Structure 1
């Protein structure tokens, strides 16, 4: 867990971040790393206005342009597959088999989540399996560097800027650090929350006083809370064309992913 220091940033760091008078207040997005430092200086002012504190601003100052993140963002081939091919490539049959075992092993946990949020076990388990292989690999990219790189990159800057602010606020809170590792697009934890969503929908399910997306209970409860807040209707169906499919669509924008989650979830729940 991050140490809760609150030491003021040194004057030279404030100058580098663009927080002293006379420095630039805006920088354009870019398509390579050459403008990242200037963008960070301008973004620091925006982040400070949004309520980011010293720890978050220091994490921003230390962020590095994430070339691997940009490469991954330009090469998301699996979402272009047919549904059958996507499910084969992503190991759907294994996720279903392991998911049934996980549900049978801990039914009280999943029942408690469904009672509170209305989301069936199969949906949460399918997402967990699809995102990280049930926590087997939660990413090796620095979350802050990845998400700020995407906020700077011209391709989808507007989408990622709020998540970059969210990541810096998570650093302020001690939920993550500048070195916390996640997926190449800055997603974190067992179910790969984007930082802005983590900030908004995170739940302390294990009662230890903090939200930890690398703790399974917190991550799955947060996922259930997200879906409920996005319109999940308890007791309603979640296949394509049914009321709760819209909430699954909120989780991931790729149609093939949405359909795969719905299909796997039904198979997991049908297995007991």
Structure 2
């Protein structure tokens, strides 16, 4: 049924597979549901399935509250990684690798994605399927699609969920994360519809209950976003005394041979022949990594620098890497000081994005540029000295 339905969607005229115009956000929720139902039908969902999907849907205030109160990514890399990575979780990941060896081998053979990466996402997203979220997914998606903050992101997810419902792959009682992600690896409906894999051969793609479906769907999604088969993503390294800190950060990429010539050494093994950047998630006094093109693909799964770096590091641990050298980094700025720093950086013309106290990629790059200008160690890690100097 799924193959036939998707074939019909592909064969349909463009006006059937793409909504003519987005439903207006805000306003009366009932009118919004009617507009979205019409869009779903225009996008190819059978009218009976669309009517069933939208009937009885409601707004969920808890979803909006969660959307406006994210704070976990204000943690430092050391705090975040140590809270998510334990000996027990590492042992469970390796046990799952052995238990589902055939599935992971298939993911590696067909999509080129390492099992360590897939296991890390599975662990972080749902603790290997144990905690998949208890928000009603239909209501969550419709709430966010109706909200005027990001309707362009969530209205297509509503349409995809309606199409999954028509395929018998989305029950109206489906639960997941507040932002609409579903299943063991927490994928959004549009990704499931377009890149989901029936890993267990039962004719359905059910990421909530089938490890094979979840693992292979995650692998296919990463491949779609540019994962390069057989290549690493992160290596812990040591840096020499007197290293030029301004060369660190994701904006500077050089061949590993160039880094080796500057004294950058892997803690174990040899460096691959790849373009790489030096990453100091907590400044020059903390752990140091070389990251490669595959590291950047992690951001297609989650946009948080801290989440991505922790997942990339945990992936290497699952595959046998040793624990990082934590070092003794300078303490992180308190929230109010970080926000004050972002305001100063923005006033100087830097694009730091939203002033939210989160040390994201934009803020790190701005910090490093100001450190260079002021003659401070340019490692991208904000300190009280930098704040005072600004």
Aligned partners of 1:90, 1:122: CA distance in 2, in Å?
15
Aligned partners of 1:229, 1:115: CA distance in 2, in Å?
15
Distance 1:26 1:139, change over 3 A: closer
Distance 1:27 1:231, change over 3 A: closer
**TM-score, normalized by length of structure 2?**
0.59
Cα shift at 1:226: 0.5
Cα shift at 1:80: 2.3
- For the pair shown, the structure with the greater C-alpha radius of gyration is 2
Of Structure 1 and Structure 2, the greater helix share is in 1
| 1:148 aligned residue | 142
* 1:224 paired residue among 215, 219, 225: 219
1:255-270 paired onto structure 2 within 5 Å: 255-270=305-320
Q: Which has the higher contact order (CA 8 A, sep 6+)?
A: 1
| 1:76 aligned residue | 70
1:123-134 paired onto structure 2 within 5 Å: 123-134=117-128
**TM-score, normalized by length of structure 1?**
0.84
For structure 2, which runs of at least 5 residues remain unmatched after alignment? 1-20, 235-289, 323-390
- The answer to whether residue 272 in structure 2 is matched with residue 241 in structure 1 is no
Cα shift at 1:271: 6.4
Aligned partners of 2:138, 2:120: CA distance in 1, in Å?
27
Cα shift at 1:26: 7.8
Distance 1:241 1:48, change over 3 A: same
Q: 1:95, 1:130 within 8 Å by CA — same for their partners in 2?
A: no
Distance 1:26 1:265, change over 3 A: closer
Count residues with an aligned counterpart.
245
RMSD: 2.0
Distance 1:186 1:42, change over 3 A: same
Cα shift at 1:106: 3.5
Helix, strand or coil for the counterpart of 2:55?
Answer: helix
Cα shift at 1:35: 2.6
Q: 2:103, 2:216 within 8 Å by CA — same for their partners in 1?
A: no
1:14-29 paired onto structure 2 within 5 Å: 28-29=24-25
Q: 1:63, 1:178 within 8 Å by CA — same for their partners in 2?
A: no
- The answer to whether residue 167 in structure 2 is matched with residue 173 in structure 1 is yes
